[in-house]
Structure 1
Amino acid sequence: MSHWLIALLLVSGSFNSIFCVTRQQLKNTGKLMKKNCMPKNDVTEEQVGDIEKGKFIEERNVMCYVACVYTMTGVVKNNRLNNEAVTKQVDILFPPEMRDAVKAAADHCKDIGKKNKDLCEASYYTAKCMYEYDAENFTMSRIVFLLIFAAILYGSNALTKQQLKNSLKMIKKQCMSKNDVTDDLVGDIDKGKFIEQKPVMCYIACIYQMTQVIKNNKLNYESTLKQIDLMYPPELRGPVKEALEKCKDVATKYKDVCEASFWTAKCVYDTDPKNFIFA
């Protein structure tokens, strides 16, 4: 999502985060933002494709490419990076366990922009500072908010169904690793294969958490509706909301967030398998 750091990582080729993604995954999702800022600043994949790995090429067009991303994510005010806007976005969009680390990096680097009146240089050296301060969370944040950033990038057009699927794939790797599940266990959830095992249940909860629909360790109906409006193609919003409406009370039967997530997802699939999308 928060947007400024996320966005930068996303652009460099990044809905995941915390893990290294494959080159092909980067290409699939990176198109969502690169197609806008790369042509505007005449940069190549070689120049900006490995920013999330710490490869900051000190060239003017690369600096302005980073600034372009920051501008698109709404943390540039009056042609300057705005630390208050960054902090606010972190509180709104970042998972609780990441907020302190990301804000610490932002706070550590907040004066970098003041030293550089030029927006391109300020953006570039701020991003570089944050990477050097906390490389782990710099990389982690990029995928978590891919969907959020993509929606911002595409505006009211949201994502196509295929773009949504591609973006969700980026979350999948992180949540699979975190919950020790294999593709045999979770690879066909979108086709209705719900294996009733605790790791699978917690994998689904992880996906929901990464897509910002879990609040206070519970599935949040209102947040889910907002994410549907933000991310889903217009033609899917109505049917998905209808399925969700029928299943919204399922989670109240389970105190455990993993079980609540699993049975809610299964209910939504059973209600409308045609329009069900999952990582």
Structure 2
Amino acid sequence: MKLNSLLLLATCALLVDVSQAGVTYEQMRSASKLIRDVCLPKYPKVTEEVADAIQVGNIPYSKDSNCYINCILEMMQSIKKGKFQLDATIKQMEIMLPDSYKEDYRRGIQLCKDSTVGLKNAPNCDPAHALLSCLKSNIKDFVFP
């Protein structure tokens, strides 16, 4: 729990000065690295190479990779107990993405808002995989921690 609080503070500190003007690509990647560094150690079967592949949209289907994705989406407040959090996702997108990404992400988020409906989170974190796969398919400049 202490690590999550530190991550939130670090992310807020990183974004405070740019919240008025939008974040830069480098600032977005720095915040993403903080999130990734929290989730990656929790899933030792997800290697750096697998995480790098997910980051660019090559999304494997396995319990470990799905639950790694779920961890990141939960930290980003996009998913909670397997349920997509539309309003929180839009709010985070507005904070965490450079302005040039926002219109495409707004459209993709709306197209994917029902992608987790009817899916069970346990045991394989299927909603996270479905949501990220949908976003990847519907967002031209896909980015992920």
* TM-score, length of structure 1 as denominator length: 0.47
Aligned to 1:270: 137
Change over 3 Å in CA distance of 1:254–1:148 after alignment to 2:
farther
The amino acid across from 2:57 in the alignment is: G
Change over 3 Å in CA distance of 1:251–1:189 after alignment to 2:
same
The amino acid across from 1:275 in the alignment is: D
Contact 2:82 2:119 in 1 (8 A): no
User: Which has the greater radius of gyration?
Assistant: 1
The amino acid across from 1:190 in the alignment is: Q
Aligned to 1:244: 109
Contact 1:213 1:223 in 2 (8 A): yes
Q: Percent identity?
A: 26
Q: List per-residue Cα deviations over 1:113-153 (Å, max 9, x = no partner).
A: xxxxxxxxxxxxxxxxxxxxxxxx2x552224433343333
Aligned to 2:15: 151
Aligned to 1:141: 5
The amino acid across from 1:185 in the alignment is: V
Q: 1:253 aligns with which of 118, 123, 142?
A: 118
The gaps in structure 2 that reach 5 residues or longer are none
Mapped to 1, the partners of 2:142 and 2:134 lie a distance apart of 10
Change over 3 Å in CA distance of 1:217–1:146 after alignment to 2:
farther
The amino acid across from 2:84 in the alignment is: L
The structural deviation recorded for 1:202 is: 0.5
Contact 2:119 2:127 in 1 (8 A): yes
Mapped to 2, the partners of 1:140 and 1:271 lie a distance apart of 30
The amino acid across from 2:141 in the alignment is: N
Aligned to 1:177: 41
Q: 1:189 aligns with which of 54, 60, 65?
A: 54
Q: What SS does structure 2 have at the residue aligned with 1:157?
A: coil
Decide which structure has greater helix share: 1
The amino acid across from 1:154 in the alignment is: V
* TM-score, length of structure 2 as denominator length: 0.86
Contact 2:82 2:128 in 1 (8 A): no
The correspondence of residues 1-279 of structure 1 with structure 2, limited to 5 A, is 98=1, 137=2, 140-180=4-44, 181-215=46-80, 218-256=83-121, 258-272=125-139, 274-279=140-145
Q: List per-residue Cα deviations over 1:234-259 (Å, max 9, x = no partner).
A: 22111011111111111113121721
Contact 2:82 2:120 in 1 (8 A): no
How many residue pairs get aligned? The number is 142
